Amino acid sequence: MEPNVYILILLVIIILVGSACCSGVEAAFLAVNSIRILELASKQKPKSSANQLLKLRKHLGRTLTVITITNNGFNIIGSLLLGVYGALIIKSSFGLTLFSIAFYVLVVLLGEVLPKALGTRFSLQIAMFSVPILRMLNTLMRPFLLLIEQLFPVITAENEISTDEAEIRQMAKIGSQKGFIEADEAEMILKVFQLNDLKAKDLMIPRVSAPSLDGSSNLDEISKLIISNNSPWWVVLGDKVDKIQGIAKRENLLTSLIKGENKKLLSELCDPVDYIPEMIKVDKLLTRFDKDHKGVKVVVDEFGGFVGIIGSEAVLSVLAGWWKE
């Protein structure tokens, strides 16, 4: 075989490998899970591959421009060189046509289809591996990139790594269907978003139905009531409308009865009141329950009037799927 033929084959291999690498990396960057990159980057040093990948992914338009320019360099310039060199070696027009068709098929299959399939399948590994090369190409092409970005500002726009409620809902449904998560786990994820749609007034026990006691009464006077009624807590009322002295826990009242503290006033046995507005969203309310560990809160309207009470179990009932509108 003549040396010219070896050079021709070498040119074909270089073009195919270059095109395949660019296509695979492009597919990997488009398919890689952004949340997974963010998770890896948070666990590694600032100059790690994951953090560098995160920066490239944030400037996805610029990164794809670099890949496209490089890919076109292999495909267009390489094909032109190959065509000229092939015409010098292959004297027959039929042979040149056959060579061109064969080369086209190879580029489509080995330079585009197969690499993109692999890039999609092994997106994280390929994207991480390509980081040093892309950073180098980014530096070499910077003057040209700056010019392109001036002409097409959309390329410079950052891609925030985030997701919205609709996407998470969809991922939960797909994860459940594919068997990655349990059906009840997916349902609970969906219920979490429901917390943002509900307000305290939707879950509270209205004032007229709230278990309440007169703060001026002593423990002996209401002993039969708290023994027969299983309510875990009571609103202790004052002598004026909307005057609340505190919240009395049933277990504390029963403990005081056992200790013989029958003459103590309920106002002395209650805990301080934690007020919340009726329009507070339930997801924020859950956070407040988690912070102060108080099991019940008093709900007030915009004028500060007592309108109801709400316990942490009401919020948990939404997550468990027990609450019905």
Residue 156 pLDDT: 59
Whole-angstrom CA distances from 315 to 109, 211, 279 are 56, 19, 15
Residue 27 pLDDT: 92
- The Cα 237–Cα 137 span in angstroms is 73
Residue 165 pLDDT: 64
Residue 187 pLDDT: 76
Residue 74 DSSP class: I
The per-residue DSSP string of 160-221 comes to -----HHHHHHHHHHHHHHTSS-HHHHHHHHHHHHHTT-BHHHHSEEGGGS-EEETTSBTTT
Whole-angstrom CA distances from 226 to 213, 215, 253 are 10, 14, 8
Q: Which of 18, 244, 37, 254 is nearest to 125 (CA)?
A: 37
CATH number for the segment(s) 200-320: 3.10.580.10
Residue 56 pLDDT: 82
Q: Which residues contact 240 (CB under 8 A, 6 or more apart)?
A: none
Residue 21 pLDDT: 92
The pTM for the full model equals 0.56
Helices and strands (H, E) in the chain, number of each type? 17, 7
Element (H, E) at 70: helix 60-72
What does pLDDT average to in each consecutive run of 10 residues of the chain (325 residues)? 74 88 90 78 72 81 87 85 78 81 88 91 89 89 82 65 66 74 75 81 88 85 84 84 82 85 84 88 84 82 88 81 67
- In the structure encoding, which two tokens stand for residue 157, read together? 């726009």
Give yes or no for a contact between 37 and 161, defined as CB atoms under 8 angstroms apart: yes
Give yes or no for a contact between 154 and 65, defined as CB atoms under 8 angstroms apart: no
SS (H, E, C) 120-137: HHCHHHHHHHHHHHHHHH
The total number of residues written for the chain in this structure: 325
- The Cα 196–Cα 189 span in angstroms is 12
Residue 154: count of CB within 10 angstroms of its CB: 7
Residue 270 pLDDT: 85
